[in-house]
Homo-oligomer: A and B are copies of this chain.
Amino acid sequence: MRIEEIARIVGGTAEGDGSWEIQDVAGLDDASGHHLSFVEGQRALERARASAAGCLLLPPGMILSGRRSIAVGHPKLAFIRAAQALRPVPPPPAGIHPSAFVAPDAQFGEGVSVGPNAVIEAGVRVGEGTSLAAGVFVGSGSEIGTHCVLYPGVTVYPGARVGNRVVLHAGVVAGGDGFGYVFAEGRHQKFPQIGTLVIEDDVEVGSNSTIDRGSLGVTRIGAGTKIDNLVQIAHNVRIGRHCVIAAQTGISGSTIIGDYVVMGGQVGIADHAQIEDNVVIGAQAGILTGKVVRKGSVVWGTPARSLAEFKRLYAHWAALPSLAAQVKELARHIGGKR
């Protein structure tokens, strides 16, 4: 693909030889003469100069004389678009592998791909262009939308509803039993786990993450939300749209998360909490049961506080030895005066 074609696709302006052929994308350090790379921020300028990339996506106003480049408003986004154009994802090999077990009444859209040893139970519906990889299990009555990718070994428990363009990475368990018991007569008696799981469009879930279905109601993951590896989402949690949840975070039962919430890794949110829209939660933070975190706040620590307050307390904490020394000195001084 010629540079001028890429410039047109990403909506940018080519500098230098626009007919130069680009074959692939690469990072600045790994790129060679027929690679496209991108420059993000002034700090990357030196690496850009040293890069062998055949063409660079540059932010407006940045000039690299003597280099082929494309000036564009958002070089990293342009890089994504260019990568999509240069590396079209081949459609999955349509058809059902002979070793897959598909219930007679399962309904498949056009171009569905079912890999070796996959198991599709009764009443399942799968939308067009969806790929169910080797060893995927989809339990009875579940619905999977169009153009989804379920990687090897994904388990979808019965009755889940998965939207369109959803990606579930290897080992994800979606729709498992919630963890609910009533302690009576000396033992833990299992509360009915008969609710559902809804995963909306454009959600991506990382490897080996687990999402339980509702105990009575629904567990819901909103459209566009991205979930990293080894994340745990409990029964009846409702997550809004376009959230980002980093690895190993855990969200307890019945907690409600708004839209555009961002969580660092290893965050823990107790049950029945409420995280409003646009909240940012720092890595390893802990949110207590029933806590409400207000719209747009940035919180940190366990129990979580506003980042500003956390930093202030943290500074006082780090200064404790000096405070203690000061108190000792005051006491000595007063004692001496008595």
Q: Which residues of A contact B (CB under 8 A)?
A: 25-27, 29-30, 74, 76-77, 79-80, 83, 87, 97, 99, 101, 115-117, 119, 133-135, 137, 151-153, 155, 157, 169-171, 173, 176-177, 179, 181-182, 184, 186-192, 194, 202, 204, 206-208, 210, 212, 216-217, 224, 226, 228-230, 232, 234, 242, 244, 246-248, 250, 252, 264-266, 268, 270, 283-284, 286, 302, 312-313, 316-321, 323-324, 326-327, 330-331, 333-334
**A-B CB contact pairs (8 Å), 22 listed:** A25-B194, A27-B217, A29-B217, A79-B191, A101-B117, A101-B134, A116-B119, A119-B135, A135-B137, A153-B171, A171-B210, A176-B206, A176-B229, A187-B224, A188-B244, A207-B212, A210-B229, A228-B232, A250-B266, A265-B270, A266-B266, A327-B330
Interchain CB contact under 8 A, B283 and A283: no
Q: Pick the contact of A226 from B87, B188, B312 — CB < 8 Å?
A: B188
Q: A74 contacts B184, CB within 8 Å?
A: yes
Q: Name the distance in Å between A17's Cβ and chain B's nearest Cβ.
A: 24
> Contacts A153-B153, A217-B29: A327 and B323 contacting too (C-beta < 8 A)?
yes
Of chain B, the residue at the smallest CB distance from A267 is B266
Complex Cα spacing A191 to B27, Å: 12
The CA-CA distance from A331 to B101 in the complex, in Å, is: 79
Shortest 7 CB-CB distances between A and B: which pairs? A27-B216, A173-B207, A316-B320, A155-B170, A137-B152, A83-B192, A210-B229
**Residues of B contacting A208 with CB < 8 Å?**
171, 173, 208, 210, 230
Q: Which of B224, B226, B319 contacts A179 (CB 8 A)?
A: B226
Q: B77 near A184 (CB under 8 angstroms)? A: yes
Query: With A173-B171, A179-B246 in contact, is A318–B313 under 8 Å at CB?
Result: yes
A268's partner among B116, B171, B206, B284 (CB-CB below 8 A) is B284
Residues of B within 8 A of A324 (CB): 316, 319, 323
**A313 and chain B: residue at smallest CB distance:** B320
CA distance A326 to B179 in the complex (A): 47
